[in-house]
Chain A
């Protein structure tokens, strides 16, 4: 089946630094990638939708200058959390949509900002 590789799985960074999270579709082309965030005991919330080769569409309340999304190829999308703050600590997860496979999730990245 379709596989999405997401890394790092866990990262701890200092306040003010930037962190890049990568999601790769390993055996299919992901024309659309969704980025979600999940706080403890909360539901997964869509942050943005990215289509290969175009700018990402951000959900209301998500700062596009803080959460930079790049979807430069059909197999790679990245989310960069810039100038991270402790309140950005969360579980970030990507999901790729493939016409045949449906939705495939990455394994998630647990970000802790200290």
Chain B
């Protein structure tokens, strides 16, 4: 089983749509989780950390289910500028970041 698994997509949605991404991780001892955004041929950029109680940042909501080892990201009112690849990331035991393969989102007018 891969350490971090995501649905690769692509997700093609119209502007204004709500879209949800899911992710599972294999190490039950993992403590820190993040969502990153990566634009084509660019470095990843931190979108938000994921907290146990769930957290929201504007149109973005992240949730964590430790029992199921499951992380989600919800994007409301999608914008064209949201088009990117969204990476589910788990902090490894060595202090490194472990990346999922990413889910590609394409928001259309």
A→B interface (CB under 8 Å):
32, 34, 36, 41-46, 49, 57, 91, 93, 95, 97, 102-103, 105-108, 110
Establish whether residues A103 and B46, one from each chain, have CB atoms under 8 Å apart when the complex forms. Answer: yes
Interface range, B side? 10 to 19
Chain A interface helix/strand/loop/mixed: strand
Contacts of A102 in B (CB 8 A): 46
Q: Which of B83-109 contact A (CB under 8 A)?
A: 87, 92, 94-102
Chain B interface helix/strand/loop/mixed: loop
State in angstroms the CA–CA spacing of A107 and B45 once bound together.
10
Establish whether residues A32 and B41, one from each chain, have CB atoms under 8 Å apart when the complex forms. Answer: no
* From B43, B44, B97, B101, contact of A42 by CB (8 A): B101
**Nearest chain A CB to B88 CB, angstrom units:** 9
Establish whether residues A49 and B96, one from each chain, have CB atoms under 8 Å apart when the complex forms. Answer: yes
Contacts of A105 in B (CB 8 A): 43-45
Residue B42 lies at the interface, judged by CB distance under 8 Å to chain A: yes
| Given A108-B42, A110-B41: A97 and B101 interface contact (C-beta under 8 Å) | no
B→A interface (CB under 8 Å):
4, 8, 41-46, 87, 92, 94-102
What number of residue pairs across chains A and B have CB atoms under 8 A from each other? 44
- Closest chain A residue to B6, Cβ basis: A43
Establish whether residues B102 and A103, one from each chain, have CB atoms under 8 Å apart when the complex forms. Answer: no
Query: Could you name 13 residue pairs across A and B whose Cβ atoms are closer than 8 Å?
Result: A34-B96, A36-B99, A41-B8, A42-B101, A44-B99, A46-B92, A49-B95, A97-B95, A102-B46, A103-B97, A105-B44, A107-B43, A108-B43
* From B41, B87, B97, B101, contact of A95 by CB (8 A): B97
State in angstroms the CA–CA spacing of A110 and B92 once bound together.
25
State in angstroms the CA–CA spacing of A102 and B92 once bound together.
14
Contacts of B46 in A (CB 8 A): 102-103
State in angstroms the CA–CA spacing of A57 and B93 once bound together.
14
Contacts of A91 in B (CB 8 A): 41
Contacts of B99 in A (CB 8 A): 36, 43-45
